[in-house]
Chains A and B, each alone.
Chain A
Amino acid sequence: MTRYLIKRLVGLVVVIFLVLTIAFIIVRLAPGDPAALMLGPDATTEDVAELRTRLGLDRPIYVQYLTFVANAAQGDLGDSLFFNAPVLEVLAARAEPTIFLALFSLIFALVIAAPIGIYAAYRHGSATDQGAISTAMLAASVPSFLTGLIFQRYLATELGWFPASGYGGPDASFLERMGHLILPSIVLGITNSALILRFTRASMLDILGEDYVRTARAKGMTERRVVLRHALKNAGIPIITVVGLTFALLVSGAVVTERVFNLPGLGNLVVNAVLRRDYPIIQGTLIVVAALYVLVNLLTDLLYLVVDKRVKL
């Protein structure tokens, strides 16, 4: 077990290194010049060249890469080209809305979707089942930015139930900021609850078809008890899997949702960074998100171990 843990931790470092490298390559291959962008539309070619030199963008790419890796190892992800501030500082300032958006929408999705999914599987083939599945699918079939725009327009602007956008001003209290996240969380949660519902239902169906469940049934156990005792207990793996998967989905779902609601989170930061060619920010976000993701992944696998004894690691 300890050996396994150490192995996984080493793996974690390897993955982050891989991500770092891939991220570096991807962003540096992209066309678009941060210097030209920073100077604005009327800047001359010479101005741009000069700023490139100042920012070190004219050095050979491998020098830039080695410098980057060496600094990253010391926890220095560089400075944002646009904000003139250390990347980690910028990221830390943006983490709050994204974390709470992901958390709220995950809770929303789990609370709504998982019980329905289990119940739908239990009543497999019934009208309830079909209804639940169809509703979930319908919800997941509308592009999320469209759901967001429509909700924003009617629930926020017209009815005034929620703030239309943003994250509150400088004097916004924590509760006020969280208030700004309710509508975005619902929008993001709707898309994800569809996935969780489908997955829970599918997994439950799988388990209900297993031999030991059939045996239990044969032994005269009531269907209710079968579901609660055996099936639910073994639904752990798929549910853990889906939460693990959803984490990544939430982060990317956050990109679109934060954009619609103009939330100053990591997703919006990254889209802006891509559009502005703010390389250090793109890299920094990728590394931080990757680190989080790999950690979640590791936890997922460890939970497999605990939940399902059949998995030998």
Chain B
Amino acid sequence: MNCFRNTRTCLSVAALATVVGAPLAAQTTVDVAIIGEADTFDPMVSTKDVVSIVTQHFVETLYTFDDSWAVVPLLAADMPQISEDGLTYTIPLREGVTFHDGSTMDSADVVGSIERWLELATRGRSIADKVESVEATGEHEVTISLSAPYAPLLSLLAFSNSAAAVYPEEILAETIENVVGTGPYKIAEHAPDQYLQLTRFEDYTQPTGAAERQQTPDEIRFVPVPDPNTRVEGLLSGQFDFADSLPAESFARVESSDVAEPLVLEPFGWPLFAINHKQGLLTDKTLRQAVQAALPHDDMLFAAFGDDTFFQVDGAQYPEGWTWQTDAGTDLYNQNDLEKASALLEEAGYDGTPLRILTSRQYEFHYKMAEVAQMALEAAGFDVDMTVVDWATLSQQRDDPTMWDIYITHSPFLPEPSLTSTFFSTSREGWANPEKEELLTAFTTETDPEARKEIFADIQQIVLDDVGFIKIGNFNSLQGKSTALSGVEAAPWPQFWNASVAE
């Protein structure tokens, strides 16, 4: 008998051959196919989803999000004491938290880590000018002082993407070679592009706010599998217990399989056409409105995701069920009105300068939406110059405002709108609009949730009125898990500490 498949399957075949139903080796391993290699294990310096998925198992933050996206304490002992004026956050820390190197976490580690975050992390830097000081006000207490109230602070501290991760003070440096965290799992072995092996951290102490990390599997293995079809084959052949980001087209096949089942994350996120406000054609508002009028959102989504169980034609920034959901301004969404677009082009005195759309096939749906958009925009009278590059080139070219007018990207629905950088004039898109800036400042300094909701409705209205960027719709993401796996939910950043595999 050839034990070609992974060890567990092999063992189970061997077991069946001897005594049916005999108990198996106690060792449990969860094999997870992810879309690529996590090029760093320091989630502070990366905003990639794959880094978040992997590192959340061994690196922790002061706060985290629960199932309903509420902020709950993780390394913190409790929610912070926030002063009346909203300027001072006093954060109690859990006692007896052990790092993987055996040392114990204290306020000095947290202060050092947050200072590094403010200095190096993309999201940390975005608020560094609002932070007056980060101080240890006790062995297990940290105080953050702000120069102005900043409502999204806790969400930023809780986010696993460009995360405010807590490291031991001793390892803090510009580049951290060997990441040491406090998470329920620790890195055992890393073979680049092959696997990342995590083993249970025996000295882990459970959080008081966030859900329990049961540490069920002995081992979690993340295997980078860049090709979507290979992830499907691997899942269906029993090689993986979980596979992230499967093509919508594989849904039927995964569903009909007897070893695996689909997990639909609904809705997962929103594709968007990011607009260059710094230079070029679309600095003209009338032309932006022409693009907005011309786009056939329903066709774009249909071509991109194939099956309407995988997308919703929805112009609101947040889907039904989210606090931030509002219909403000959505009458301007999915107009699909070529005549209006042509009229706007004429009004703007469009001279035939090509509209440059930059996209990549890293995400096939980006490219498909661009193809359909191109056809509609050309029908409206635009001369479209579409450039399809690899993701590496795209990430470089989009930083150069001379290279593009529109680039295509997507984002998961983030619990706090201000985590979306495109709203801000400091982003690479550079959308500056005095009225919007005012609203944003009000939004980030306001602490009353109801008031913030109302301000957000005005922000959404202005995004559509001024065409700050174009949200295409909502889409679901498809993940797959083996039928034997339980304790894992479909999530943008799936977690495996409660996973168990039935034999």
Which residues of A line the B interface, CB within 8 A?
A: 31-34, 36-48, 54, 82-85, 90, 93-94, 149, 152-153, 156-157, 160-172, 176, 179-180, 259-262, 264, 268-269, 272, 275-277
Contact = CB atoms under 8 A, between A and B. Distances in A.
Contacts of A41: 47-48, 395, 409
Given A153-B233, A176-B4, A44 B37 contact: no
A94 B191 CA distance: 9
Given A42-B162, A46-B125, 14 more contacts: A36-B399, A37-B396, A44-B428, A83-B192, A85-B192, A93-B191, A149-B229, A156-B237, A163-B237, A166-B194, A262-B226, A264-B194, A272-B193, A275-B391
Nearest to A167: B194
Interface stretch (B38-46, B78-86, B435-443): B38-46
Given A37-B392, A42-B123, A272-B226, A166 B46 contact: no
A168 B9 CA distance: 12
User: Range of interface residues on chain B?
Assistant: 35 or more
Nearest to B31: A169
Contacts of A276: 39, 392
A259 B237 CA distance: 18
Contacts of A160: 5, 237-238
Contacts of A275: 390-392
A40 B389 CA distance: 17
Given A47-B125, A152-B233, A163 B396 contact: no
A170 B37 contact: no
Contacts of B223: 166
B161 A42 contact: yes
A285 to B, nearest CB: 13
Contacts of A164: 230, 233-234, 236-237, 239
B177 interface: yes
A93 B393 CA distance: 28
A156 B399 contact: no
A170 B396 contact: no
Nearest to B427: A44
A234 B397 CA distance: 57
A170 B191 contact: yes
A275 to B, nearest CB: 6
Across the A-B interface, the 10 shortest Cβ-Cβ residue pairs: A33-B396, A32-B392, A40-B47, A42-B47, A164-B237, A264-B194, A40-B48, A36-B395, A32-B393, A164-B233
A165 B230 contact: yes
Contacts of A85: 192
B370 interface: no
Given A157-B237, A167-B194, A44 B122 contact: yes
B45 A39 contact: yes
Interface of B: 2-7, 29, 31, 37, 39-40, 45-48, 51, 122-123, 125-126, 161-162, 174-175, 177, 188-189, 191-195, 197, 221, 223, 225-227, 229-230, 233-234, 236-239, 389-393, 395-397, 399, 409, 421, 426-428
Contacts of B125: 44, 46-47
Contact of A48 (B3, B192, B229, B399): B399
Contacts of B123: 42
A191 to B, nearest CB: 19
A179 B1 CA distance: 12
Given A38-B39, A169-B31, A277 B230 contact: no
Contacts of B227: 259-260, 262
Contacts of B46: 38-40
Nearest to B426: A44
A94 B37 CA distance: 15
Contact of B234 (A47, A149, A166): A166
A281 B470 CA distance: 38
B272 to A, nearest CB: 12
Nearest to A85: B192
B157 to A, nearest CB: 16
Contact of A156 (B229, B233, B427): B233
A170 B391 contact: no
Contacts of A261: 230
Contact of A179 (B3, B45, B230, B397): B3
Contacts of B427: 44
Contacts of A260: 227, 230
Nearest to B5: A163
A39 B162 CA distance: 9
Contacts of B37: 82, 272
A54 B40 contact: no
A93 B4 CA distance: 21
B396 A169 contact: no
A32 B396 contact: yes
A170 B122 contact: no
B194 A176 contact: no
B232 to A, nearest CB: 8
6 contacts: A39-B47, A40-B46, A40-B51, A44-B421, A82-B39, A170-B197
A166 B123 CA distance: 35
Nearest to B40: A38
Contacts of B389: 31-32
A182 to B, nearest CB: 8
Contacts of B192: 82-83, 85, 90, 93, 264
A266 to B, nearest CB: 11
A33 B399 contact: yes
A166 B7 CA distance: 13
B412 to A, nearest CB: 11
A157 B260 CA distance: 12
A268 B399 CA distance: 28
A167 B192 CA distance: 12
Nearest to A168: B6
A264 B193 contact: yes
A169 B197 contact: yes
A94 B393 CA distance: 26
Given A41-B409, A276-B39, A162 B390 contact: no
A37 B434 CA distance: 32
Contacts of A46: 125
Contacts of A171: 7
A170 B237 CA distance: 19
Contacts of A32: 389-390, 392-393, 395-396
A47 B122 contact: yes
A275 B390 CA distance: 7
Contacts of B237: 156-157, 160, 163-164
Contacts of B229: 149
A166 B191 CA distance: 12
A253 B426 CA distance: 46
A39 B234 contact: no
A169 B195 contact: yes
